Amino acid sequence: MAGKIIDNIYSKLGEVFDPETIGTLLANGIINIFVIVAVFLIFYLLWKVLNWLLQPIFRRSKMDETTTIFANSLIKYGILILGLITALDSVGIKTSAVLASLGIVGLTIGFAARDSLSNLISGIIIFLDRPFVIGDLVEIDGKYGQVERITLRSTRVVTVDGKMLAVPNVDVVNKTVTSYTNFPHLRLDIQVTIGVSEDIEKARKILMDLVSDPSYMGEPRPSVVVRELNDYNVLLELRVWIENEREHLQERFRLREAIFNAFNRHNIEMPYETIQLAPFRMEQKMLGN
């Protein structure tokens, strides 16, 4: 009985590991892989040709760069996915069965890829909502710079010091975005403190003289308001509009320096909170003294 079972096992192993059978399987596998790669490569070349044909059309159209990049991405991935499905079908692999078998595995992979999927969906939301376009000056969660590129995964922002920031699209959607170029003009709000004993009108006149230059907009008119009355200072805010919003950083720096120099020339005190430490000497009493 035992010998018969062993003979059956040897017989089955011989069928499975038959050299002719293994050779046939390997040959078929190599052919199938070659067919899949060849079909997918055809679709990839189709995308390259189509992209080459579409570029002049995009340039002649009134589509902005953001829309062009987004449309390019959709067409590219659509053709490549279609190519993959066609390649699998060409060797008899039913994509519907593959997708069904990957259902359970997909749940596991989904948890690992949820960030990428969130960024992809957020990229579509950015395109539809259009809070900014390529070339805009924006501030995203404290990160300031010019939008260089918007992809389906991230938004590329170039900072004023030349760094490239790849901000995940999910952060762009979920956090506050400040755009400095959505409107033709921009207002600068420069805050400065003066002493409580200083003449507010005198300080206001000095500030208004600084922005009387024609480089600043006359309408809306500049103004100086009192923002806060504190125990040790008065917080003033200079509000002035500029024509070119792309120069707002340079203008802020220039105005702050000009205000500091002007207040010093006119002996306007600019107090700040200080803490004075007084020496304290502790004498230890000795027992018996």
> pTM (2 decimals)?
0.52
User: What is the rounded distance in angstroms from the CA atom of residue 197 to the CA atom of residue 269?
Assistant: 9
User: What is the rounded distance in angstroms from the CA atom of residue 52 to the CA atom of residue 276?
Assistant: 71
* In the chain, beta strands by DSSP E: 137-140, 143-150, 154-158, 164-168, 177-179, 186-194, 223-229, 234-242
CATH code, 9-112: 1.10.287
Please, what CATH class does the domain formed by 130-179 belong to? Answer: mainly beta
Say what angle helices 19-60 and 65-90 make with each other, to 10 degrees: 160
Cβ count near 83 (within 10 Å): 20
User: What is the rounded distance in angstroms from the CA atom of residue 37 to the CA atom of residue 41?
Assistant: 6
Residue 23 is predicted with a pLDDT of: 57
Sign of CA dihedral 242, 205, 200, 197: positive
User: What is the rounded distance in angstroms from the CA atom of residue 65 to the CA atom of residue 45?
Assistant: 24
**pLDDT tens-place values along the chain, 289 residues long:** 544 554 555 455 455 545 555 556 566 667 777 777 887 788 888 878 887 877 777 667 666 666 677 777 777 777 877 877 777 777 676 666 555 555 544 545 555 456 667 777 787 787 777 788 888 888 888 788 888 888 878 888 888 777 888 888 888 888 888 887 766 677 888 889 998 888 899 999 999 988 887 777 778 888 899 988 888 889 999 998 887 777 778 888 889 999 999 999 999 888 866 666 666 565 555 555 5
Tell me, rounded to whole angstroms, the distance of Cα 59 from its chain centroid: 25
Q: Please give the C-alpha separations between residue 276 and each of 31, 128, 174, 193, 273, in angstroms, as whole numbers.
A: 84, 56, 44, 20, 10
- Type of residue numbered 232: Y
Q: Report domain extents, the chain.
A: 9-112, 130-179, 186-265
User: What is the rounded distance in angstroms from the CA atom of residue 160 to the CA atom of residue 173?
Assistant: 23
Tell me, rounded to whole angstroms, the distance of Cα 262 from its chain centroid: 40
Rg for the chain (alpha carbons), in Å? 35
Task: Name the token pair of 288.
Answer: 């018996």
User: The domain 186-265 is classified under which CATH number: 3.40.50.261, 3.40.50.2300, 3.30.70.100, 3.90.550.10?
Assistant: 3.30.70.100
